[in-house]
Structure 1
Amino acid sequence: MLSLFKRLTLLAAVVATVGCSSSDENEATQPAELVDFAPVISVDEVWNRWAGDGAGTESWLRLKPAVDGDAIYVCDADGDCYAYNRHSGDRLWSVSFDLDVSGGVGAGSGFVAFGTLDGFLVVLNGQDGSEVFREQLTSEVLSSPAIQDDLLVVQSQNGHVFGFDLKMKERKWHYDATLPLLSLRGTADPIINDKVTYAAFANGKVVALDNESGVSLWEKRISIPSGKSDLEKLADVDGTPILDQDTMYAVGFNGFVRAIDLYSGRVRWQKEFSSWVGPAFGFGQVYLSLDNGELVALDDRSSSVNWKQDSLLNRRLTRPVTLGNYVVVGDFEGYLHFVSQLSGTFAERIRIDSDGLLSPPIVVGDTLYIYSSDGTLAAVQIREES
């Protein structure tokens, strides 16, 4: 696999190609100027708190928070971890580790977990932040661990997936995917769903793993390496897929968005789109933040394009999420954009942090939580509609 430096260089080249601003770029690749519109909803920050130094403005780490019960947890890149009451924003505890945190936080069953650049998995007690155990993995961890009941699943950058028994504090199983030499610097989060864990890889595949044994139940390719240049051959599935009832929706870089039967792995439909962030689902539609900054809504049955929003070109959009009647994305200037799920028109826009938003928002109930590049943790709600 590539060194950290080479991965950063490769990702920087990709971003420059699809929309990172520079002095000599042409108009087609410059971030779009924000358009004016008349807001139709009221969106408020319920609270915001300083939660460490974030990932930093020069980093591509997606350090998203996680919720378990009434608590929300987050760690910054320097190893400072925090717990807050997710309703009031009151701090519950904070702890510091001499570790370079590189993956987002996972939480569940009273545990909190994160991964590091040195390849450690660290598991904490959710009540007070005390360390429960840590384990050396095979490489850096750039995704959030998943927790369900007594099972914790974590994925490392080099394609290894580990299942841990939280009661026994020991490894339960291990799965190893074969990856290409070249890949983007990022990893999709594993997803635990009942008796199966789903994982996506830089080889362009998604895999279903048995939760008891880690054995592969099926695998399906989302992206196919093609082209002559190294950039054209990239086929990563870095965006976490989304599950809805019996269907998985997954999208890859230089690939497709595919609707896949969760039980058989059969492809129900596919559409040629490219994205390095995962999709969202709502109102019978699949939402994609494309590499070029377009926001697209696809019909979940036919895959037809219901609408496109192209006013955010090259603004390096986060993964979309749905909140109420709206789909929400963040951008590189720290704005959250609220777009109608029905029409694709803008409803409101608020700014969280001028240093930018890279980590994907998360939604719990009627509240959206976002962790910004400078360490601002914010809770956002739609207050009323006109």
Structure 2
Amino acid sequence: MRFSGFPVRRTARLCGGGLVLAIVTALTGCSSLWGGGGSKPVPADLGANVAVLGVRQAWTARVGGLAGMPMEVHSAGSVVTLASADGVVAAIDARTGGDVWRTSLGEPLSAGLGADGNTAAVVSRANVLVVLDAGRERWRHSLGAQVFTPPLVAGGRVFVLSADRSVSAFDAASGRKLWTQQRPGEALVLRQAGVLRPVGDTLVVGLSGRLVGLNPDNGSVRWEAPLASPRGTNDVERLVELVGRTSREGDSICARAFQASVGCVNPVRGTVSWTQPASGAEGIHGDAEAVFGTESNGAVIAWRRVDGSRLWATDRLKYRKLTAPLLLGRSVVVGDDTGLVHLLSRTDGAPLNRLSTDGSGIGAAPVVAGDTLVVVTRNGNIFGFRPD
């Protein structure tokens, strides 16, 4: 069976209930990712914006706010589908910014949305999987644990990765559970979207610091490839998670291990091609030539896909909290926590343009739908940008 999906990403929560013990929130101290217990360093002034690449705002739309929910935006053709923390689910025409359909579930959500262009799936904070068809509820199913990773809708099935490290498959039409794969769970997991995506006829899942290839028909393990290993002496220090988005090109899938490494795996053989140390909390993106990522200190780095050697790094956005990147043509697109969208040269990281939104911070990794760059802010405003 071969099934298709869409590239994936949202941010880590390490403080204020961001680490969860299977289902129960763990109470833990938290030191600054910037180093030490002082205030966050002030980002450098960006200077005047010199628009080397012409881009204009084409439209705006709105969904609900994020309120801490790990947000994912899915694109299929010219339609983007997304959900808000308060349970609004919408499909937006990226050509106009108008609704294709919109519905309110009337209950808060814990994870972003998964979709395949027809079917959409979300998970509520009450641990209920809800599946929609063109905005109309098709079925729902109670789950045994919290979910922070958007469900995957592919091949006529809905796949769910839960916080207890279980993976379940459901028939998308009927809601019948097909199988569950349960793995031993570490004490802590991130309240952040992980890795769950199709690669050819294999379901690829991030479990702890490993990419794991599962048979989508029955959940059996085909291969495991470690990208990071636990370190340290306590549960917090030993936390290892893979975070989306990922980058897949041919026989190469690349992913980030939270605050540990970036690496690529051959999903046919299930072998690790390379890993490099990296201190980021967001997913990556790329193409056949390069892989791009943002570090927790605001640096943006490019690695050569074939061997992981560093191509370039820039600290122009240092001390800004950045989203996972989107490689779009000649640009690497990232959003920051002030609501700015930065277009950097894929060749050397030089600035190409800077776009403004509503100032509330970019809440999800940018996506492209047709010829439109789509970004969503923490306040739930959606912006469509197009080249001049």
Paired residues of 1:324 and 1:366 also in contact (CA < 8 A): no
Q: Structure 2 residue aligned with 1:284, among 267, 289, 297?
A: 289
Post-superposition shift, 1:86? Answer: 2.2
The residue aligned with 1:40 is 52
Report if aligned partners of 1:82, 1:93 keep a CA contact under 8 Å in 2.
yes
Counterpart check, 1:346 vs 2:351: yes
- C-alpha distance after superposition, 1:17-68 (max 9, x if no partner): 2379x9x427xx444443445220111222111222x213xx2x22222234
Asked if the contact 2:288–2:305 (Cα under 8 Å) also holds between the matched residues in 1, the reply is no
- The aligned counterpart of 2:218 is 213
Whole-Å Cα distance in 2 between the matches of residues 120 and 19 of structure 1? 38
Corresponding position of 2:270? 265
Match in the other structure for 1:134:
140
- Specify the alignment match of 2:87 in structure 1: 79
- In structure 2, the residue matched to 1:301 is 306
| Residue matched to 2:15 | none
- Supply the AA of the counterpart residue of 2:248: L
Q: Paired residue for 1:156?
A: 162
The answer to whether the 8 Å contact 2:127/2:143 transfers is yes
Deviations 1:282-316 (A, max 9, x none): 36111011122210001112311111011212211
Percent identity over the alignment?
26
Aligned pair partner of 1:181 in 187, 191, 200: 187
**Native 8 Å contact 2:187 2:235 kept in 1:** no
| Matched residue type, 1:208 | G
**Residue of 237, 247, 266 corresponding to 2:242:** 237
Match of 1:144 among 150, 161, 171: 150
Q: CA deviation at 1:221?
A: 1.7
Q: 158-167 vs 68-77, which deviates more?
A: 68-77
**Aligned residue in 1 for 2:121:** 113
User: SS at 2:139's partner residue?
Assistant: strand
* Structure-2 residue corresponding to 1:122: 130
Which amino acid is 1:246 matched to?
A: D
Tell me the alpha carbon deviations over residues 182-233 of structure 1, each in whole angstroms, 9 at most, x when there is no partner.
23221314102231111113x2121111111111111122221112455432
Measured after TM superposition, the shift of residue 3 of structure 1 is 7.3
CA–CA distance in structure 2, aligned partners of residues 264 and 219 of structure 1: 10
Letter in 1 for 2:55: V
Which piece of structure 1 moves more, 210-219 or 234-243? 234-243
- Indicate which of 325, 329, 350 corresponds to 2:334: 329
Aligned to 2:103: 95
Are positions 1:55 and 2:34 aligned together? no
- Of 25, 30, 34, the residue aligned with 1:18 is 34
Task: Say if 1:19 and 1:316, in contact at 8 Å, map to a contact too.
Answer: no
CA distance in 2, matches of 1:70, 1:37: 29
Structure 2 vs 1, CA of residues 375 and 4 (structure 1 numbering), >3 Å: closer, same or farther?
Answer: farther
Contact 1:162 1:174 in 2 (8 A): yes
Cα distance change of structure 1 residues 227 and 295 upon mapping to structure 2, 3 Å threshold: same
Higher helix share: 1
Local SS of the residue matching 2:237: helix
Change in CA separation of 1:291 and 1:179 when aligned onto 2, cut-off 3 Å: farther
Whether 1:312 and 2:317 are equivalent positions in the alignment is: yes
Q: Which residue of 1 aligns with 2:206?
A: 200
The change in CA–CA distance for 1:172 and 1:18 in structure 2 (over 3 A counts) is farther
Cα separation, 1, equivalents of 2:49 and 2:300: 17
Contact 2:337–2:360 (8 Å) recurs in 1: yes
Q: Which one-letter code corresponds to 1:344 in the other structure?
A: G
Give 3-state SS (helix, strand or coil) of 2:122's partner. Answer: strand
Deviations 1:317-371 (A, max 9, x none): 1110111110011111111110000111111111222111131112234322222
- Aligned pair count reads 369
Opposite residue 55 of structure 1, the aligned amino acid is L
Structure 1: runs of 5 or more not aligned: none
8 A contact 2:22–2:164 mirrored in 1:
no
Shift, 1:109, TM fit = 5.1
Distance apart, 1:70 and its partner CA: 4.0
RMSD, matched Cα: 2.3
TM-score, with normalisation over the residues of structure 1? Answer: 0.89
- The TM-score with structure 2 as length reference comes to 0.88
1:64–1:361 CA contact under 8 A, matched in 2: no
What secondary structure does 1:13 align onto?
Answer: coil
Q: Structure 2 regions of 5+ residues with no counterpart?
A: 1-19
Contact 1:109–1:147 (8 Å) recurs in 2: no
Instruction: Tell me: CA distance 1:224–1:320, structure 2 relative to 1, closer, same or farther (3 Å).
Output: same
2:16 match? none
